[in-house]
Amino acid sequence: MKIQPVPYDHPDAVKLEDAVQAEYAVRYGDEGDVTPLHAGMFRPPHGLYLLAYDEDGTPVATGGWRTQDTNPEGYSDGDAELKRMYVVPEARGTGLARRILAALEDDARAAGRTRMVLETGTAQPEAIALYLSSGYTACPKFGHYREYPNSRCYAKPLH
Angle subtended by helix axes 125-133 and 96-110, to nearest 10: 50
Which residue ranges form the domains of the chain, and what is each CATH number?
2-157 (3.40.630.30)
| pLDDT-derived band at 29, boundaries 50, 70, 90 | confident
Give the β-pairing of 115-121 and 151-157.
Answer: antiparallel
pLDDT digits (tens, 9 = 90+) for 33-79: 888 899 999 999 999 999 999 999 999 999 999 999 999 999 999 99
The pTM (predicted TM-score) of the whole model is 0.95
